[in-house]
Structure 1
Amino acid sequence: MTVACVSGRRTVEVLAGLGLRTVLIDDEISAELAWLADVAVEADLDDWDAVERALSEVHRRSPLSAVLSTRDSYVRLAAFLAARLGVRGLALPAALNCRDKARFRRVLQSAGLPAPRWAQPSRVEEAVSAAGRLGYPVVVKPREGAGAAGVRYCRGADEVSSAAGELTAGGKQVLVEEYVEGPELAVQAVTVDRRTEVVNVLLQHVGPPPRFAELGYDFPSGLTAREEQAARDLAEATLSALGFDNGASHIQLRMGPAGPVVIEVNPRPPGGRLSYLTEVVSGLDLVRAAIEATLGGPVTRTAPVASCALYRCVTFSESGVVSYRPEVEQNELPPLEGPLPPLVEMDVSPGDLVLPLDDPEGGVYGRVLVFGNDRAQTERDHQAILEALQLRVDPIPARLAATAAAQGR
């Protein structure tokens, strides 16, 4: 079998490991990736016609079995190419439904699925009026895209006007949505020929508004059996309504006062270390599962190694110079109780400048992921790692830190 992958190093590595003939298509391809792929095609990924011509020539010489991408930016392109070449892939309507948030909301509304109330204003003043009708607080977001880019939590008309103004000034269309109070959930699923299996449900920890930064995840979710089943059922119904037929997906829900509601569907495996977490606790490598599902299955599963996981991001509450013991990151760990080594990653080095979580330029500076067979044990191991790291910030004025950090970039 020959599979075409639109960008994505990890996907190419897994395809090669599966022994599948791999065609990589990207704007620029390093010598290392070109060596790993069987065929490397460089093309402007913003020019879909040019990409189609290039891939059609490859397909003519050696027929493709499927086209896929595990990157948000290129899921629609991969679905378009699969449709044009008549090979397996994610259905193009499903890819469009997931990426276009207005289209996404209309599909859910037509299917009668629980989701935030919403409006699509065409001008800033209409956004303010819509927010007033929906009731504050609201969320203002761009119509196109995925994830939290451009998403703003707004408490009043001035904040809505500012958020909508920034989006429209950048040439983007705007959505205004009701803000749903409640815990956030991350649901992983694999679908083969429109038959969906929910792999797991995670409780997601997020920071305070307006940024809602990712702070971590818990498995199991801590929901009641009835709540978790409702989340699973809603995830399956949502994918069905969207026409999602093949691949892995990452679905964001909120457990509102009346039950779960759908926030977003990302038509690809989760990013960061969530795929690794899922492999440990559920026995599925989600990138491999996405490939196998796209090809029609079966999906490979192994025995879970742990029944509990705690994932926490490293953030700071003040500006300053960070210090910690890097040898802990390099696996010089204290005695732990978990069944396998933890993952400890820092994105900064001792002596680097860091900013607080609530700073527009701040955010996540690392992550700790521990596994076990009960929640109390994972919490003890996490605390032991933090104590061994000896994380500390020597404060400096926020403005000085922000200026220095910007110069460092």
Structure 2
Amino acid sequence: MVVENWVEGTGRLFPKGIVDLGHEYTFISRNMDHYSSPETNEHHPVLKYARNVLSFETNDLPSLTEFLKRQHEILKFDGVITICDYYVETAAAIADALDLPQAYSKNVAIARRKHLVRQALDNAGIPNPKHAIAKSLDEAKTAAADIGYPLIAKPSDLGSSAFVRLVQNEQELTEACEPILGNTRNFRDQERDPVVILEEYLQGQEVSVECCSFDGKTNFIGITDKSLTGDPYFIEDGHMFPADLSDQTAEQLKEFTKDVLAAIGYENGVTHTEVKLTENGPRLIEVNPRPAGNYIVELIEHVTGIDLMKCHIDLALGHAPDLQKYPRAQSAAIKFVVPQKAGQLVDIKGYDSLEKNNAIARYKFVKPDGHALSAPIDNACYVGHVVTTDPTGKNSRAFAEDAVSQLELVVEEQ
């Protein structure tokens, strides 16, 4: 049973991944239109590959659980799963109710709420940046004065870098807090706790540590680098696996991440843990209790042969994940194209150069036929991306950046 899905990124890889492993799945959603494109007649992979498609209110857990209990009697599910952050707790609760295996930890609710993770690290004595939780603008102003500017303002329970912002002063703090405090429902129309987390702004390189925990043991997969754009927002516009780090730094990150996961009691599941490398050592940004998004799982498979999507699926079926490495490329990278402004995309100049580039494993872009571009404030604004590999070294990021530099977006303001 697949409960909802991401629309892009891993949301496109995941459904076919299930079928390629020889499984069948039933997909359930509260809004099928969420998985359709008004610009094409393309069937989203999650619908295309599904054996059964059910429409039901997935935001009403008690009713959904009773409905799926009845469906389970007919369809005999072997597991319940999602890769969409907003339905991780739902999938875990349904698996419990149906007495099925888990792809998640018992403490997944803590991992999904950034302020609870901060508290767990404090309790375990793991270094945190200065931080505070605010439930009103007045509380935020008081906390910000204590932490000091610049600082980061972000919600506790959203994904895709939504409403995460660098704040330089009280006016910017007011602007950052307004959408976090004012929106009592998330992008999937779920009720949320509108609290603001304020955190000390940390200087240093940002990376993510990919792990897979099973049977109480956390297995280290590797480290992915990250590039950001869109100041004062934090839009992820590129990744490379593995990150170009010294062995000493990589080992430090590995041990730090294992300590973080132990502190929140995360003993089962694939995790994507974002960390900042500061002059005082690693500091946690957040833990994500699912495979990495933004096609990072694809980069990892290009390099190691490990399919973290398959691991996620295996865990949901109660199977031990296959973490045997089969070395392939030395590095793989992805570069996203981020528009400079909202508007209508009418052309992509230099597009033909992608086909001639031997370093590119694949690429994908929206059609430049008046496609509406979102304002560049989070990861939902991407125009497209290129994936590159380097068989002999760690130059794949440079390859990807070079490929994208040859493109020019022609955008008409709306």
For the superposition of Structure 1 and Structure 2, which TM-score range results when normalised by the shorter chain?
0.7 to 0.9
**What is the match of residue 313 of structure 1?**
336
The 3-state SS of whatever aligns with 1:296 is: coil
1:130 counterpart = 2:136: no
Offset at 1:103? 1.5
Q: After TM superposition, which residue ranges in structure 1, 4 or more long, deviate above 6 angstroms? A: 350-356, 359-362
Partners of 2:68 and 2:220 lie apart in 1 by: 33
**What is the match of residue 128 of structure 2?**
115
The 5-angstrom pairing of residues 219-298 of structure 1 reads 219-298=241-320
Offset at 1:374? 4.2
Match among 55, 65, 73 for residue 42 of structure 1: 55
1:342 counterpart = 2:361: yes
CA offsets per residue over residues 161-217 of structure 1, 9 Å max, x none? 222233223342222111111111022211212322121101111125311211212
Partners of 1:393 and 1:35 lie apart in 2 by: 31
Conserved in 2, the CA contact under 8 Å of 1:310 and 1:379?
Answer: yes
Conserved in 1, the CA contact under 8 Å of 2:337 and 2:404?
Answer: no
1:201 counterpart = 2:226: no
**What is the match of residue 6 of structure 1?**
3
Distance 1:168 1:385, change over 3 A: closer
Number of equivalenced pairs: 386
Offset at 1:131? 0.8
Deviating more after overlay: 189-198 vs 320-329: 320-329
Distance 1:348 1:251, change over 3 A: farther
Counterpart code for 2:211: A
Offset at 1:101? 1.9
Partners of 2:121 and 2:114 lie apart in 1 by: 11
Partners of 1:246 and 1:386 lie apart in 2 by: 38
Counterpart code for 1:391: L
Distance 1:287 1:219, change over 3 A: closer
1:372 counterpart = 2:366: no
Deviating more after overlay: 131-140 vs 241-250: 241-250
Partners of 2:153 and 2:111 lie apart in 1 by: 18
**Which has the larger Rg?**
1
Conserved in 1, the CA contact under 8 Å of 2:133 and 2:197?
Answer: yes
CA offsets per residue over residues 124-164 of structure 1, 9 Å max, x none? 11101101111111111122223311212101122112222
1:391 counterpart = 2:394: no
Conserved in 2, the CA contact under 8 Å of 1:189 and 1:198?
Answer: yes
Counterpart code for 1:305: R
Structure 2 residue runs of 5 or longer lacking an equivalent are: 6-10, 36-42, 185-193
Distance 1:275 1:356, change over 3 A: same
Partners of 2:176 and 2:398 lie apart in 1 by: 41
Deviating more after overlay: 125-134 vs 220-229: 220-229
Conserved in 1, the CA contact under 8 Å of 2:223 and 2:242?
Answer: yes
The 5-angstrom pairing of residues 81-92 of structure 1 reads 81-91=94-104
Counterpart code for 1:265: V
1:170 counterpart = 2:183: yes
Counterpart code for 1:323: I
Deviating more after overlay: 222-231 vs 243-252: 243-252
Distance 1:378 1:59, change over 3 A: closer
Distance 1:120 1:377, change over 3 A: closer
Partners of 1:213 and 1:102 lie apart in 2 by: 21
Conserved in 2, the CA contact under 8 Å of 1:115 and 1:263?
Answer: no
Deviating more after overlay: 163-172 vs 274-283: 163-172
CA offsets per residue over residues 14-70 of structure 1, 9 Å max, x none? 223222353332225689866744444321011111110111113334554322211
Counterpart code for 1:312: K
TM-score of the pair, normalised by structure 1: 0.83
Offset at 1:362? 9.6
Distance 1:126 1:51, change over 3 A: same
Deviating more after overlay: 77-86 vs 167-176: 167-176
CA offsets per residue over residues 353-395 of structure 1, 9 Å max, x none? 87996x78995322222111345753674476457xx42356x
Backbone CA RMSD of aligned residues = 3.1
CA offsets per residue over residues 268-299 of structure 1, 9 Å max, x none? 11222211111101212221111113333332
Deviating more after overlay: 365-374 vs 147-156: 365-374
Deviating more after overlay: 126-135 vs 95-104: 95-104
The 3-state SS of whatever aligns with 1:150 is: coil
**What is the match of residue 148 of structure 1?**
161
Match among 161, 170, 173 for residue 160 of structure 1: 173
Partners of 2:340 and 2:159 lie apart in 1 by: 27
**What is the match of residue 407 of structure 1?**
none
1:333 counterpart = 2:356: yes
The 3-state SS of whatever aligns with 2:134 is: coil
Counterpart code for 1:132: A
